Amino acid sequence: MSLLLAVGQVNQSEKERRALIAKIYHNTKIKTSIFALIQKSGGETHDASLIFDETIVHFVKTAFNKANSSLSGELEPYLMGIARNLWYQECKKRKREIPLPDVISHQTADDQPVAEEIFLTKERYSLLHDVLDKLRSNCRAVLMHWANGFSMAEIAEKLGYQSEGMARKKKSQCLAELNDFLFQNPHIKLQLQ
């Protein structure tokens, strides 16, 4: 599958994203390659499983960002690149526990995008999820598109608002809602910062 096609699918709709994620998730070839890479370099099955999931998350995040809409090439090697870099970062983080394997230590992590934050801690992710879960689904969609660089005209078209102005108004209401929550819960804000 071409990367361009996959990026298009990620940006099309939630339904299309779900379909693509399921397709990657069930792709035995990609999964086996990632598992082989991790296990060959000293990782356990649960590490491989984690990296596989994180690879998908990272890919969708990257593809959904308007700044990255011109990605080209094939999906599979791109995913392998993400997995390799995520594992590289993870090995660096665990340098005292896991010796860097040869296959990784000679890799430069700049051939593919590197994750800014590779793994959110379980607690932090859970907190983030709880905060975001407070938003209504239409708010989630509007804010998600806005923060990832979609214009108000694109948001209106994608999410079915009658005008760009309506989309802007909705975005402002939703942002105010999220802001109110953080304003009223400064301790949560501190944890998320």
Partner 1 sequence: MSLYFEWLDDYMEDRLSPQQRLDFEEAMQADEKLKHAVENYPLLKKLSASLIEDETRQMLKDLDNKQVMPDNSRRLWWWLAAAVFVGLMAYIGKAVLSPSPDNKQLFADLYLKPQPKAERGGVSDTLTLTRAIDLFDRNHLDEAKPIFQSLATTDSLQLMASYYLAHIELRTQKLQQADSLFLGLQNDATYKNDALYHRMLIALLLHKKEEARRLFMLLDKSQFSETQLKKVEGYLR
Name the residues that contact partner 1, by CB under 8 A.
14, 17-18, 21-22, 25, 53, 56-57, 60-61, 64-65, 125, 128-129, 131-133, 135, 140, 143-144, 146-148, 168-169, 172-173, 175-176, 178-180, 182-183, 189, 192-193
Picking from 80, 93, 1, 76, the residue whose alpha carbon sits closest to that of residue 40 is 80
Cβ closest to partner 1, residue 103 vs residue 127: 127
SS3 at position 131: helix
Q: Which amino acid is at 98?
A: I
Q: Among positive and negative, which fits the CA dihedral 182, 185, 187, 192?
A: negative
Report residue 58 CA to chain centroid gap: 4
Q: How many CB atoms lie within 10 A of CB 55?
A: 25
Cβ closest to partner 1, residue 94 vs residue 189: 189
Q: Provide, rounded to whole angstroms, the least separation between the CB of residue 184 and partner 1.
A: 10
Q: Provide, rounded to whole angstroms, the least separation between the CB of residue 12 and partner 1.
A: 13
Q: Provide, rounded to whole angstroms, the least separation between the CB of residue 84 and partner 1.
A: 20
Q: Provide, rounded to whole angstroms, the least separation between the CB of residue 87 and partner 1.
A: 18
Cβ closest to partner 1, residue 88 vs residue 146: 146
Give per-residue burial for 139-164: e unless 16+ CB within 10 Å, then b. bbbbbbbbeeebebebbbebbebeee
Cβ closest to partner 1, residue 104 vs residue 143: 143
Q: Provide, rounded to whole angstroms, the least separation between the CB of residue 67 and partner 1.
A: 11
